[in-house]
Amino acid sequence: MGKQNRERPKADDIYPGLEKIDDPYKNPDVLEVLYWDAGWSMKEIGDLFGVTRENIRYYMK
């Protein structure tokens, strides 16, 4: 069975004011909300910000 395509809420809806944060992928609070609260994978977060999973893992708390 293949992966299900699931509709994700937009990152701005999950973390209001995201566009005002410089380098949001370096902000552990942003990553915590997207990863733990919204259930996004590290790959999805990396794709959103144009960085690798390793970058996301590095900046998580």
Q: Which tens digit of pLDDT belongs to each residue from 6-53?
A: 677 889 999 999 999 999 999 999 999 999 999 999 999 999 999 999
pLDDT reported for residue 61: 80
DSSP secondary structure of 22-58: SSGGG-HHHHHIIIIIS---HHHHHHHHT--HHHHHH
pLDDT reported for residue 56: 97
Report whether pLDDT(2) > 60: no
pLDDT reported for residue 3: 55
Report whether pLDDT(1) > 60: no
pTM, to two decimals: 0.83
Task: Identify the H or E element spanning 12.
Answer: helix 11-14
